[in-house]
């Protein structure tokens, strides 16, 4: 039994059953023992999953290009802050800065990384040693001043702890208890907050339908909005609009576990040793953002976004007219539906006057479907 599993069992025995959100939060973020807080966590080939920056450096170059476009649209402010939340091993930051370092914009940008894991921070500092004078690390959003610029997250929101519900004779919430030192599920009546959330998105849930509700997202977005004086919030993650998320065919929800690059659906094994994720309901991100005064200026699949943003031109910048076939194969993984091109979505929200038009949504903007 892992030490973390022991601590969760002790909590349940002393306090009673915990909702799934609390269980997931402890699995992922318990200080020093959770999946994202322990020293041994690795992301990429050596870990349990990889993200777009691990697939090819052009992903970071494209987001660097996006930051430069945003800076231009805002009238080239003297200081433009890029705040990356959950930077993993630091690949995205490095690839963005590599692309931008010889451009005019570079002299005006400041880059902050929000990282709660001190061991991951140390890895990032090694990776980004060349740019250390451009970088600032904080452990939470609370440590940031109000900024003009862009908040970036790539595959962050899917790791937010979620409430789990299942339709029985009425809508019930999943709680976690213990029997013979093993986790078991219990069903308890849902709170009005969860019921209202599902009503907001017209989720028609039938008998034995199981799904997730991400309420943590609302508080996170409010915290980001508090720190953003003017500018953008760029979110990249796998997910759906509400209609597709709560589709009748998706009757077991979207929760998945990643352990040594293999997927399973059992969150009660490998406690603290596997990643737990749930897809993002981008409709909730839009709704809650608009309540805060944020404008949704674009939403589309990652492949469409990268093509519209001009990935062909950046390929030429990096490789000339004859890119290596191996490089092209990896780039296709970012764009094609069989890779991350369709599963991963890009959403940009804006705080400020007017309604900026970003090139990345020129081909396909599905924000009206949210």
Work out the percent of the chain whose per-residue pLDDT is above 90. Answer: 89
Instruction: Give the list of residues 6+ apart from residue 82 with CB closer than 8 angstroms, or none.
Output: 67, 96, 109, 110, 111, 112, 149, 150, 152
pLDDT in tens, 243-297: 999 999 999 999 999 998 899 999 999 999 999 999 999 999 999 999 999 999 9
Give residue 1's pLDDT: 86
Distance CA 260, CA 246 (A): 29
Q: Which two tokens stand for residue 112?
A: 């902050």
Q: Mean pLDDT across the stretch 290-312?
A: 98
Q: Mean pLDDT across the stretch 175-192?
A: 97
Give residue 47's pLDDT: 54
Give residue 46's pLDDT: 52
CB 346 within 8 A of CB 102: no
Give residue 45's pLDDT: 55
pLDDT in tens, 317-336: 888 877 788 888 999 999 99
Distance CA 240, CA 279 (A): 7
pTM: predicted TM-score of the whole model, two decimal places: 0.95
When pLDDT is cut at 50, 70 and 90, the band that residue 48 belongs to is: low
When pLDDT is cut at 50, 70 and 90, the band that residue 148 belongs to is: very high
Sole residue written with tokens 């920056």: 53
Q: Mean pLDDT across the stretch 230-239?
A: 98
Distance CA 142, CA 160 (A): 18
Note the CATH number of domain 52-161+214-369: 3.40.50.12710
Q: Mean pLDDT across the stretch 182-195?
A: 96
Work out the percent of the chain whose per-residue pLDDT is above 70. Answer: 97
pLDDT in tens, 190-207: 999 999 999 999 878 888
When pLDDT is cut at 50, 70 and 90, the band that residue 298 belongs to is: very high
Q: Mean pLDDT across the stretch 335-357?
A: 96
Q: Mean pLDDT across the stretch 156-160?
A: 97
Q: Which two tokens stand for residue 129?
A: 């040693």
């Amino acid at each position: 039994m892992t030490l973390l599993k022991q601590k969760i069992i002790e909590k349940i025995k002393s306090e009673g059953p915990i909702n799934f959100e609390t269980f997931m939060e402890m699995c992922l973020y318990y200080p020093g023992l959770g999946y994202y807080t322990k020293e041994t966590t690795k992301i990429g080939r050596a870990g349990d999953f990889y993200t777009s920056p691990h697939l090819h450096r052009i992903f970071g170059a494209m987001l660097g290009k996006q930051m430069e476009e945003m800076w231009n649209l805002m009238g080239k402010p003297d200081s433009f802050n890029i705040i990356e939340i959950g930077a993993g091993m630091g690949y995205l930051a490095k690839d963005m800065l590599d692309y931008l370092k010889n451009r005019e914009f570079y002299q005006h940008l400041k880059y902050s990384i929000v990282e709660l894991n001190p061991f991951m921070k140390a890895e990032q500092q090694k990776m980004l040693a060349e740019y250390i004078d451009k970088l600032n690390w904080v452990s939470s959003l609370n440590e940031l001043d109000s900024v003009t610029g862009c908040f970036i997250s790539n595959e962050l929101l899917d790791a937010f702890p979620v409430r789990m519900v299942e339709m029985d004779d009425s809508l019930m919430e999943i709680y976690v208890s213990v029997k013979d030192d093993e986790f078991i599920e219990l069903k308890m009546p849902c709170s009005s907050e969860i019921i209202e959330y599902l009503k907001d998105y017209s989720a028609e849930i039938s008998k034995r339908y199981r799904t997730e509700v991400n309420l943590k997202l609302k508080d996170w977005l409010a915290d980001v909005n508090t720190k953003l004086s003017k500018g953008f919030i760029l979110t990249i993650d796998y997910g759906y609009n509400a209609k597709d998320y709560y589709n009748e065919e998706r009757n077991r929800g979207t929760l998945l576990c990643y352990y040594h690059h293999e997927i399973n659906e059992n969150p009660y094994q490998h406690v603290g040793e596997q990643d737990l994720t749930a897809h993002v309901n981008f409709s909730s991100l839009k709704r809650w953002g608009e309540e805060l005064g944020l404008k949704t200026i674009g939403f589309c699949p990652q492949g469409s976004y990268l093509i519209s943003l001009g990935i062909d031109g950046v390929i030429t910048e990096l490789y000339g007219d004859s890119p290596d076939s191996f490089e092209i194969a990896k780039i296709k993984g970012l764009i094609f539906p069989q890779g991350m091109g369709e599963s991963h979505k890009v959403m940009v929200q804006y705080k400020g006057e007017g309604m900026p038009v970003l090139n990345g949504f020129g081909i396909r903007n599905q924000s009206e479907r949210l």
